[in-house]
Amino acid sequence: MSDHSAPSEHIVSGTLYWLVWAILIVATFLTAWIATIDLGPFNTVVALVIATGKASIVALIFMHVKYTHEKMTKPILIGALFWLMLLLILSLTDYSSRYAG
């Protein structure tokens, strides 16, 4: 943040971008294929784990969360996800312990 230093912006290598793209594409077809196999209650779990993995690498690499020097970016992201989990987990524990209306 010094006045005189040149702006230091991280440049991600093109190879890494292509690798992330390849992982995302493979994971997309993988999740569609796994859904057709009977894993019992784990079908949903596997689908959400793959989705979260995909979302994480998009945020970390494509959105530069991993490389940012800005100190508040990660707290904002973690804060937003915390509120989201509060909404989802508390609502689901409430509604799933009641009679379906």
Binding site for another protein (CB under 8 A): 1, 3, 5, 7-9, 11-12, 14, 17-18, 20-21, 24-25, 28-29, 31-32, 35-38, 43-44, 47-48, 50-51, 54-55, 58-59, 61-63, 68-70, 72-73, 76-77, 79-81, 83-84, 87-88, 91-92, 95-96, 100-101
Contact 59, 77 (CB under 8 A): yes
For the bound state, the minimum distance from the C-beta of residue 45 to another protein, rounded and expressed in Å, comes to: 11
For the bound state, the minimum distance from the C-beta of residue 8 to another protein, rounded and expressed in Å, comes to: 7
CA neighbor of 23 nearest in space, from 11, 13, 15: 15
Q: How far is CA 63 from CA 25, 60, 73, 90, in A?
A: 17, 6, 11, 29
